[in-house]
């Protein structure tokens, strides 16, 4: 029995290559315990990583990383990989400010050849590496690890189709942790997988081609062989795409994984798909027993598995969306909800409990989700497409071509607007104000609190002649009172929240609370400030903007979005109406033109220059008083 610790001896994957199978098993056990302990401190994506511990160990043992390229799809499962690739000493900084990213990241390590966080990119990227290796005359391997969920997206099949046609060296490992494709895994399938991945079988196969080729039987015999293997092991679909299929195999059995991967490494002459069946949350009982397999967790007690939840009296914006849409749908049978593999994250799960037949989770397929919603809208239904801002980017052509040009009333519920904290720049909702606001006839709204969000959901339901969108952030609302009876907003009309004198702050979204704090800071300096909630980026409230511009020395716009959004629309209108020629001092406050790394949201907004302090300082600077530092001292 091996009972001495081994993980302490592993600083880089090269240290794994001389280890025996018994030692690899022991290292895997220690690695699983290390990941559990680390995530209990940091929070993060746990279940997926626990499911690929043995697979990650086997890949680094068999292949010569980083020369051989290991590409994880999405990256939820990359924590064990980070521990093995020289980052164990920083693993407890996962998803923290200045720490390790929760996903693969090229700037972090040479063992992360391709950054990820959105699904279904690994096979395309891996094919790029495979072609580059071939063009350079190298003999590197490209290994892509993709989950069965990510394999639901069309991009994965586009890549596989291309890879099959190019016939380049490419290894795709399907990490099937839901048994969504695989038949039961048993001794016979393991035996067959070892057999067909090995040199003797591949040599016999090549010999058979030489024999039947001259007599014109190569194609029919090839089909017979493919279908025979497909019948015995599954995988006919992948064979049709040009991949040599191996599996299904037990993704936790190193006695199977290692020889199969070695066989593929040594006899590979084209694209291969290895079908590995794994268990999400493997080896940690609380995760194994949880419905979500601890996919994403907050900090937790390792012994009990109990997660530490934040306590707040205010509901989350996501919950407000789900409950408001559900209540609205009770009186409107035409309302349907569409989401792309994020029912819980978007609040659609609440709607689904009440209206399962009117809820459609299309999988990781945002492009399809948008055009599917467009089809529903074209036939008289009221679809709400609930998609994170960062994921809606993937369907922009469909938003333009299939929705906007046809003026179809799809309602886009855009969750995770603005900066999102621990998930970092890959998940930030930075660009939707700009990329939706430039589309003709689109109605664009941003909620400043949970009540405003609820009213915007009602407003969108009444927009039946064009598309509409409303954005809201991750996390809890501000705790405003929610009345029993809600009323929709007047399209294109904002509101004055605080009356003042020389300074006007026009906020779009949830920076309204920071804008009100800034007004208090300015009041302490004897400066009277008007604060307005724009509500709409399109159509703009021209009357409100005109009022603010004509009666104040300074106008500041504030938004949780990139350059080119609400502030740009406001500037364009003021320029068109000649108000910029009258001495108005205007500043636009946006997210900076950089990608901001993960941290606590309040720290990220401080770094972005969008805190109350920054808003107040910008107002002072625009007045030209020269006493910005005095304001800072007064605030302190």
SS3 (DSSP) at 232: helix
C-alpha distances in Å from residue 468, one per residue of 412, 444, 445: 6, 6, 8
| 95 has catalytic annotation | no
Annotated active-site residue in 202, 229, 382, 394: 394
Of the candidates 32, 82, 280, 416, the residue annotated as catalytic is: 280
Residue with tokens 């029995």: 1
> 223 CB contacts (<8 Å, ≥6 apart)?
none
Cis, bond preceding 66 (omega within 30 deg of 0): yes
Active-site residue 476, yes or no?
Answer: no
- Distance (Å, whole) CA 156 – CA 143: 14
DSSP output for 430-470 = -SHHHHHHTSTT-EEEE-SSHHHHHHHHHHHHH--SS-EEE
Q: Are 246 and 196 in contact (CB under 8 A)?
A: yes
Can you tell me which residue has the tokens 């606590």?
600
DSSP 273-299: EEEEE--TTTT-HHHHHSTTTTSSB-S
Q: Which two tokens stand for residue 54?
A: 């043995």
Whole-angstrom distance, CA of residue 286 vs CA of residue 575: 60
| Nearest CA among 122, 41, 110 for reference residue 77 | 122
If you ran DSSP here, which 8-state letter would residue 418 be given?
A: B
Q: How many other β-carbons are positioned within 10 Å of the β-carbon of residue 107?
A: 8
Burial call 62-92: b when 16+ CB within 10 Å, e when fewer? bbebbebbbbbbbbbbbbbbbbbbebbebbb
Adjacency order of strands within the sheet including 585-589: 495-498, 529-533, 503-508, 554-559, 585-589
Choosing from 366, 514, 559, 560, the catalytic residue is 366
Q: Is 280 one of the catalytic residues?
A: yes
Contact criterion met (CB below 8 Å) for 599 and 97: yes
Helix, strand or coil for residue 399?
A: helix
Q: Which residues are catalytic?
A: 280, 366, 394
């Amino acid at each position: 029995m091996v009972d001495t610790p081994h993980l302490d001896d592993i600083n880089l994957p090269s240290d794994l290559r001389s280890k025996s199978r018994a030692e690899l098993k022991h290292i895997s056990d220690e690695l699983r315990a290390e990941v559990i302990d680390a995530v209990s401190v940091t929070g993060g994506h746990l279940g997926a990583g626990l499911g690929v511990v043995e697979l990650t160990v086997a890949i680094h043992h068999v292949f010569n990383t980083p020369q051989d390229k290991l590409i994880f799809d999405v990256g939820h499962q990359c924590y064990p990989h980070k521990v093995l690739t020289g980052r164990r000493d920083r693993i407890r900084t996962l998803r923290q400010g200045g720490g390790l990213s929760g996903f693969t990241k090229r700037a972090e390590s040479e063992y992360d050849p391709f950054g990820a966080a959105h699904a279904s990119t690994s096979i395309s990227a891996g094919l790029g590496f495979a072609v580059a290796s071939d063009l350079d005359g190298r003999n590197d391997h490209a290994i892509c690890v993709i989950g069965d969920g990510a394999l639901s997206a069309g991009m994965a099949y586009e890549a596989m189709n291309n890879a099959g046609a190019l016939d380049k060296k490419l290894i795709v490992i399907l990490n099937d942790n839901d048994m969504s494709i695989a038949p039961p895994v048993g001794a016979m399938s393991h035996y067959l997988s070892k057999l067909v991945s090995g040199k003797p079988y591949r040599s016999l196969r090549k010999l058979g081609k030489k024999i039947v080729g001259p007599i014109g039987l190569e194609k029919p015999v090839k089909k017979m062989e493919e279908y025979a293997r497909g019948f015995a092991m599954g995988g006919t679909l992948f064979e049709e795409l040009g991949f040599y299929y191996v599996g299904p195999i037990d993704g936790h059995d190193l006695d199977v994984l290692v020889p199969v991967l070695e066989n593929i490494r040594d006899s590979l002459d084209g694209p291969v798909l290895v079908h590995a069946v794994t268990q999400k949350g493997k080896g940690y009982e609380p995760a194994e027993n949880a419905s979500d397999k601890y996919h994403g967790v907050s900090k937790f007690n390792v012994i009990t598995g109990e997660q530490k939840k934040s306590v707040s009296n205010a509901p989350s914006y996501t919950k407000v969306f789900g409950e408001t849409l559900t209540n609205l749908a009770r009186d409107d049978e035409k309302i349907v909800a569409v989401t792309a593999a994020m029912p819980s994250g978007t609040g659609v799960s609440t709607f689904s409990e009440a209206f399962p037949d009117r809820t459609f989770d299309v999988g990781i397929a945002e492009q399809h989700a948008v055009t599917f919603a467009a089809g529903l809208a074209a036939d008289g239904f009221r679809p709400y497409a609930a998609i994170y801002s960062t994921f809606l980017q993937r369907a922009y052509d469909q938003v333009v071509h299939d929705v906007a040009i046809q003026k179809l009333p799809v309602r886009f519920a855009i969750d995770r607007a603005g900066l999102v904290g621990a998930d970092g720049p890959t998940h930030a909702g930075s660009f939707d104000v700009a990329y939706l606001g430039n589309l003709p006839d689109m109605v664009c709204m941003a909620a400043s609190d949970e009540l405003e969000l609820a009213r915007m959901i009602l407003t969108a339901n009444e927009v039946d002649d064009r598309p509409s969108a409303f954005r809201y952030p991750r996390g809890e609302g501000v705790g405003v009172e929610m009345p029993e009876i809600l009323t929709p907003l007047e399209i294109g009309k904002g509101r004055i929240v605080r009356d003042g004198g020389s300074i006007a702050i026009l906020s779009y979204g949830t920076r309204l609370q920071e804008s009100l704090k800034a007004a208090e800071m300015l009041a302490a300096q004897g400066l009277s400030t008007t604060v307005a909630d724009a509500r709409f980026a399109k159509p703009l409230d021209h009357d409100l903007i005109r009022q603010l511009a004509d009666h104040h020395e300074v106008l500041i716009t504030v938004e949780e979005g990139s350059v080119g959004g609400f502030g740009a629309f406001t500037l364009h209108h003021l320029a068109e109406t000649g108000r910029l020629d009258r001495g108005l001092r205007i500043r636009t406050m946006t997210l900076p033109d950089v990608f901001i790394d993960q941290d606590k949201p309040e720290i990220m907004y401080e770094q972005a220059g969008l805190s109350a302090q920054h808003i107040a300082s910008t107002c002072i600077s625009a007045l030209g008083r020269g006493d910005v530092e005095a304001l800072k001292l007064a605030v302190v």
